[in-house]
Chains A and B, each alone.
Chain A
Amino acid sequence: DAKTTQPNSMESNEEEPVHLPCNHSTISGTDYIHWYRQLPSQGPEYVIHGLTSNVNNRMASLAIAEDRKSSTLILHRATLRDAAVYYCGRGGADGLTFGKGTHLIIQP
């Protein structure tokens, strides 16, 4: 989705927090913000989603800007297994529409 933009790649060190940004400036008021990740040769895997409030689960946290035009996926303590492509997207009645994804590289 051209309207959802993410950095092509980011690098972080193991055991440090990672903040992955996403801009979705034209998201509608009823669309949810979704994050999925994809390991090599696997299908996308659900990470987290939210509408307006910040969300936490066992995998990550999602911080949503007050105007909903951007969000940040937070991995609190990255491990080597978190190295993947992270897709941000909007979820509406027409399904999920993704950005181009951020390739997260974790350095040991």
Chain B
Amino acid sequence: DTAVSQTPKYLVTQMGNDKSIKCEQNLGHDTMYWYKQDSKKFLKIMFSYNNKELIINETVPNRFSPKSPDKAHLNLHINSLELGDSAVYFCASSQETSGRSMKFFGPGTRLTVL
């Protein structure tokens, strides 16, 4: 069984479109995250959710909005896509928000904006 899954694996779209990426974890974890990996392989945290509450929002444009329908899901909605949004997006989960918790990452969604 896949612990953290994401759909779709690849997403190609035009500038200006709105798109969503879905994430699900079956680990029973309380915290989920979204990370962005740019073309230089730099991994940067975007959001985290704990018990359906947003607890971090880094310097991410408000075109990006995380939505958590329940504890096992954290979806990422992106409005008015821009060329610079092209990247690989990783969902992750952990048992708690503490720094001692190990994180489990999904396989990633490669977003290409044309």
Q: Is the CB of A95 within 8 A of B45?
A: yes
Query: In the complex, which residues of chain B have a beta carbon less than 8 angstroms from the beta carbon of A85?
Result: 41
Q: Is the CB of A46 within 8 A of B103?
A: yes
Query: In the complex, which residues of chain B have a beta carbon less than 8 angstroms from the beta carbon of A93?
Result: 97-99
Q: Is the CB of A91 within 8 A of B90?
A: no
Residues of chain A having any CB pair with chain B under 8 Å? 30-32, 34, 36, 38, 41-46, 49, 51, 85, 87, 90-98, 100-101
- Give chain A's interface secondary structure class: strand
The total of interchain contacts (Cβ-Cβ below 8 angstroms) comes to 66
Query: In the complex, which residues of chain B have a beta carbon less than 8 angstroms from the beta carbon of A100?
Result: 40-42
Inter-chain CA distance A31–B80, complex, in Å, is: 36
Residues of chain B having any CB pair with chain A under 8 Å? 4, 33, 40-45, 48, 56, 90, 92, 97-108
Q: Is the CB of B97 within 8 A of A96?
A: no
Q: Is the CB of B90 within 8 A of A44?
A: yes
Inter-chain CA distance A85–B42, complex, in Å, is: 11
